[in-house]
Structure 1
Amino acid sequence: MADNASEQTTSAISRHLLAWYDRHARSLPWRAPPGGRADPYHVWLSEVMLQQTTTATVAPYFHDFLQRWPSVHDLAAAPREEVMTAWAGLGYYARARNLHKCARMVSHDLGGRFPEDEAGLRKLPGIGPYTAAAIAAIAFDRPAAPLDGNIERVVARLFAVEDPLPGAKESLRGLMARLVPTERPGDFAQAMMDLGATVCVPKTPKCMLCPLHDACDGRALGGAGELPRKAPKKARPTRRAVAFWTVRADGSVLLRRRPPEGLLGGMLEVPTTAWTEDGWDETAALRHAPVPASWNELPGQVRHGFTHFEFLVTVWAAQVPAETAVAEAVWAGIDRLGDAGLPTAMRKIAEHAIRQGGGG
């Protein structure tokens, strides 16, 4: 680690960055203007949505949630299935389950008020170290040190941290904590996020536009674009399944709800076999078919990437009589599948089956 950044006082760094933020802050639907205080409910909702998801993707979901549930009490009172359906497409569905649990805890146990410090926030479902620090800083102007991907990049370059991620996270968190000012810490946190998102970008940072240009060790050493370094990723395994696209003569498709916990918990799905690395032969797969029928394998396969594995699906289709009933299942019209709140992997299966004319 070079000494250039350490020679700059932290107060000078925060002063320059806040002055830049006052001029260049992004306008985001959950954000108060520089110097203002954001609604804690809006901050919490946006931060949970933004975990591993882009701002552009989150914005319409944020608007939709506020229209449906303007307050944490409204969200707490909503049926969980409605919340999961509204979340469909954002991915990482455990976030939605924890979002609902957290809303209920804040509404029922805390009178609708979020804790103002990191320790209190960490006790709530779905709130980890980063989210707690972000809410404490942005919603309550506490001197907290959130560390998202944008801030990691800024700090790694500012202090020329060569250690690769994820191992360097604790070092970067400590360096970020040194920078947080006692005045306007919430604006400072958002300024660091904006700097990483718009100026200190991956691969080709816009160093000449950066308000911390003179304090940056990475720029001084000529290698800012190579930081932060990342440890090599391990190859993701592949899990395989057979999906059963079941179409009744009245044009409706069989869906079922997954168990409440676990991957895609509580979401509607096209019925499938278990997801295994070994795959399925015809005899074994048919034991998991939701109804007896004449099943036909559709051409091609569906591929979807989850965080820790690739999902590869073969789709079998069948048409069944209009009076067919299946316990604990839902029949949805093909023209209404867009309103069913299917997670992305299941939407891909449905789209593939429809393209291939599955079940007529």
Structure 2
Amino acid sequence: MRDHPVSAEQLSQDLLAWYDTHAREMPWRVGPTARASGVRPDPYRIWLSEVMLQQTTVAAVKDYFERFTRRWPRVGDLAAAEDGDVMAEWAGLGYYARARNLLKCARVVAEEFEGVFPDAYEGLIALPGIGPYTAAAISAIAFDRPETVLDGNVERVMARLHDEHEPLPAVKPVLKAHAAHLTPSARPGDYAQAVMDLGATICTPKSPACGICPWRDPCRARVKGTAPELPKKTPKKPKPTRYGFVYLARSAEGDWLLERRPDKGLLGGMLGWPGSEWNDAPTETPPFDADWQDLGAEVRHTFTHFHLILQVRSAELPADFEPRAGQELVRRHDFRPSSLPTVMRKAFDLTRR
């Protein structure tokens, strides 16, 4: 690693001094003043927030986090929750495998660790749904261990600070080495949050505010004028488009027919509308014989690896209809559109036009 003109210790101290004044307030965070007075973060809240924040923004997560912690304030409460209740509260956050792993992890912690999270990286990464980044973040933030936390914000900061032009993801090991070199043994939890805050608020993807950055002077990319173009990324392949049909059926009394998706796969374990497979040439497969009406509009939604276009059909349930295995007839007064995954809620919204 190249020697930096400013020592790693000085860089860390400068960033922590900035964080002491500019730390973002978040419902799961213990700020620097409170932490200095002896308040310690709740590992459950740190874990929950980190899982929710995976591939999602802070703004999108706050309301979900507050609802979750009001309903399930401790890991044991979450471990005892019904799967369907947790999946319903998660609806709209996306990446539903996270919710399934959330329950698995809560139950392991409650049953095998008596409700106490392991305090070191090695124990945390062995838990369901916790990968290297999350294990490092929990270990640093909740337990003040000097682990190297590397998310997208930190990658961007490190790439600019050191003017690294090799594209992601190949450059990740180099950026992690830079991040590890700067991680201090004193206040590592505050430092981890500080460097993420720096990327989120100052060293932003577009138009970084270099003039007010605590690392302005030693930043090589600022000096060379390359900051806005870093980090470079390997171009992604175009996303394919898949197609399908979705069927919205309601009884004369206003009850809705829903179907629970298989545990594995997209939207795993979630309740949604019956529908066809999603592929290049889907086949219409209505859940029962009826006079299905084309709503004349389509649902468009984008997942991580593909775009989806759904044709929407609607019909009235026969008076003598009996749900098949995997189907549920949800009473009008119990039906909550907000409990549906986003793509399914988009289809429901078409019925109200």
Counterpart in the other structure of 2:18: 20
- Matched with 2:164 is 161
**Partners of 1:43 and 1:167 in 2: CA distance:** 29
In the TM superposition, what are the counterparts of 1:263-278 in structure 2 within 5 Å? 263-278=266-281
Match for residue 301 of structure 2 among 283, 300, 304: 304
Aligned residue number for residue 116 of structure 1: 119
Retained in 2: the 8 A contact 1:315–1:353?
no
Task: Please report the TM-score for the alignment, with normalisation by the length of structure 2.
Answer: 0.95
Counterpart Cα distance in 2 of 1:255 and 1:101 = 25
Q: Kindly provide the CA deviation profile for residues 164-222 of structure 1, in whole angstroms up to 9, marking residues without a partner as x.
A: 11221121111101110000001000000111111111120100100011111110111
Question: How far does the alpha carbon of each residue in 1:89-137 deviate from its partner, in whole angstroms, 9 at most, with x for none?
Answer: 1100000000000000000001111111111111011111110110010
1:358 matched residue in structure 2: none
Which stretch of structure 1 is more off in the superposition, 211-220 or 270-279?
270-279
Question: Where does residue 181 of structure 1 map in the other structure?
Answer: 184
Work out which of the residue numbers 76, 88, 93 in structure 2 matches 1:90: 93
SS for the counterpart of 2:170 is coil
What amino acid maps onto 2:7 in structure 1?
A: T
- Which of 85, 106, 109 is residue 109 of structure 2 equivalent to? 106
- Structure 2 Cα separation of the partners of residues 8 and 94 of structure 1: 43
Matching residue within 318, 323, 328 for 2:320: 323
CA distance in 1, matches of 2:166, 2:243: 36
Contact 1:165–1:231, Cα closer than 8 Å, also in 2? yes
Question: Which structure 1 segments of 5+ residues have no match?
Answer: 356-360
Q: Which residue of 1 aligns with 2:216?
A: 213
Change (3 A) 1:337 1:234: farther
In the alignment, which of 344, 350, 353 is matched to residue 351 of structure 2?
A: 353
TM-score (norm 1): 0.93
Q: Given residue 154 of structure 2, which amino acid in structure 1 is its aligned partner?
A: I
2-side partners of 1:316 and 1:12: how far apart?
A: 63
Three-state SS of the structure 2 residue aligned to 1:225 is helix
Cα distance, 1:246–1:339 mapped onto 2, change above 3 Å = closer
Match of 2:339 in 1: 341
- Residue by residue over 1:264-289, the C-alpha shift from the partner in whole angstroms, topping out at 9 and shown as x without a partner, is 11100100011112233xxxx1xx21
1:339 Cα offset (Å) = 5.2
Is it true that 1:290 corresponds to 2:287 in the alignment?
yes
Matched, 1:237 2:249: no
How far apart, CA to CA, are the structure 1 residues paired with 2:224 and 2:332? 58
Partners of 2:274 and 2:139 in 1: CA distance: 42
- Deviation of 1:144 after TM superposition, in Å, equals 0.5
SS state of the match for residue 179, structure 2?
helix
2:352 counterpart SS class: helix
Alignment match, 1:30: 28
Query: Matched residues in 1 for 2:311 and 2:60: separation?
Result: 29
State the alpha-carbon separation in 2 of the partners of residues 333 and 106 from structure 1: 35
How far is 1:323 from its partner?
Answer: 3.5
Give the RMSD, CA atoms, in angstroms. Answer: 1.5
Q: Structure 2 vs 1, CA of residues 120 and 310 (structure 1 numbering), >3 Å: closer, same or farther?
A: same
Note if contact 1:248-1:319 (Cα within 8 Å) is conserved in structure 2: yes
- Pick one of 249, 255, 259 that aligns with 1:256: 259
Equivalent-residue separation in structure 2 for 1:320 and 1:290 (angstroms): 10
Contact 2:300 2:307 in 1 (8 A): yes
Query: In structure 2, what residue type is equivalent to 1:331?
Result: L
Residue identity in the other structure for 1:30? W
Contact 2:48 2:65 in 1 (8 A): yes
The answer to whether the 8 Å contact 1:250/1:322 transfers is: no
Tell me if structure 2 keeps the 8 A contact 1:290–1:326. Answer: no
Q: Distance in 2 between matches of 1:231 and 1:338?
A: 41
Task: Give the 3-state SS of the residue equivalent to 2:119 in structure 1.
Answer: coil
Quick one: distance in 2 between partners of 1:77 and 1:249?
Answer: 36
- Distance in 2 (CA, whole Å) between partners of 1:302 and 1:25 is 40
Please give the alpha-carbon distance, in whole angstroms, between the structure 2 residues aligned to 1:153 and 1:333: 49
Q: Is the 8 A contact 1:291 1:326 kept in 2?
A: no
Amino acid at match of 2:146: P
